Homo-oligomer: A and B are copies of this chain.
Amino acid sequence: MKENLTAFAPATVANLACGFDVMGLAIDNPGDEVTVSFNKSREIVVRSITGDGGKLSKDPMKNTASVAIQALCDDLHIDQGFDVSIKKKMPLGSGLGSSAASAVAGVFAANELLGRPFSRQELVPFAMMGEKMACGAAHADNVGPSMMGGIVLIRSYAPLDIISLPVPKKLCMVVVHPHVEVLTRDARAVIPQKIALEEGIAQWANTAALTAGLFQSNFDLIARSVEDHIAEPNRASLIPCFYEVKTAALYEGALACSISGSGPSIFAMCEGMASAKVVAAAMKSNLLKQKLKAMSIFPL
């Protein structure tokens, strides 16, 4: 029996524009590493956290990884103790699913140590409990893709219905992270609770079309479909440089460009790595022009 195990869980881009609250995808990098080992205390102890700039709590009730592991233990009716060490290798509050990645890596590692009582998909609700603690809502659009990999669709929560969608071979993502703070709370608050019927119709036409585009590896169709009538028009103003960066990305040949999760990260979809590199450079140079202090770029 293994005594400790380290798991990596990737960052994720939620929403994908038209798929507001229901779609997300995992990128290869960055992500979080969580090491889990058994202890004899019968309690879950967060031993160390690095890479968070001291911002995250070691209180096991307030840490997404430990909360997720606790949910797993509760479901199994066991009081096994765990030591948990977290290496944050991605920015916090960036709209890249940082809290989800820690929860996923933690619960995945604990499940392996316990002899894999649950499938990946069955682990998603436990990781969602970590999200709920961190964000106030048990969303799965970061947890789902971070756990399952690839592109996922969350059809419903009751019951939880997660569908893996195909990933076209040449699809590359560019993600830039402008160093401005966007609080998830604020990003949620700007979304109206009522939407015009015609905006809704456009949105569900696009989610269906994007899904078809992914199945057909039809990049033209993907480009036409990744369009957002709900979140982007309301959240763009929270990211000072958003439209400039988007225009630059599209000008350089990106298929589509929108806000990752609740922002401030901005993603671009590209066909092929060569295109992604050109687009990444354009987005980066545009952010510098806007005098935004720093950023990270993750072409995949």
Contacts and interface: CB of A to CB of B under 8 A. Distances in A.
A204 B19 contact: yes
A208 B207 contact: yes
A57 B210 CA distance: 42
Interface stretch (A33-41, A62-70, A149-157, A289-297): A149-157
A182 B29 CA distance: 55
A208 B19 contact: yes
B19 A224 contact: no
Contacts of A205: 22, 153-156, 207
Interface in A10-68: 18-23
Nearest to A159: B224
A189 to B, nearest CB: 13
Interface residues of A, number: 38
Contacts of A215: 211-212, 215
A94 B154 CA distance: 35
A200 interface: yes
A205 B20 CA distance: 9
A225 interface: yes
Interface string A190-218: 01111111001111111111111001000
Contacts of A200: 195, 200, 203-204, 230
Tell me how many chains of this kind the complex includes: 2
A203 B18 CA distance: 12
A161 B213 CA distance: 13
Given A163-B221, A193-B196, A195-B195, A208 B153 contact: yes
Interface in A140-172: 153-156, 161, 163, 165
A20 B202 CA distance: 10
Nearest to A218: B163
Contacts of A156: 202, 205, 224
A155 B20 contact: no
Nearest to A225: B155
A212 B22 contact: no
The 10 A-B residue pairs whose C-beta atoms are closest, nearest first, are A204-B204, A211-B211, A207-B208, A22-B205, A200-B200, A155-B209, A204-B207, A215-B215, A208-B211, A194-B194
Given A22-B208, A211-B212, 18 more contacts: A19-B204, A23-B208, A153-B212, A155-B205, A155-B206, A156-B205, A161-B224, A193-B196, A193-B197, A194-B194, A195-B200, A200-B200, A200-B204, A203-B204, A204-B208, A205-B207, A211-B215, A212-B215
17 contacts: A18-B204, A22-B201, A22-B205, A153-B212, A154-B205, A155-B224, A155-B225, A156-B205, A161-B224, A163-B209, A193-B197, A194-B194, A194-B196, A197-B230, A204-B204, A211-B215, A212-B215
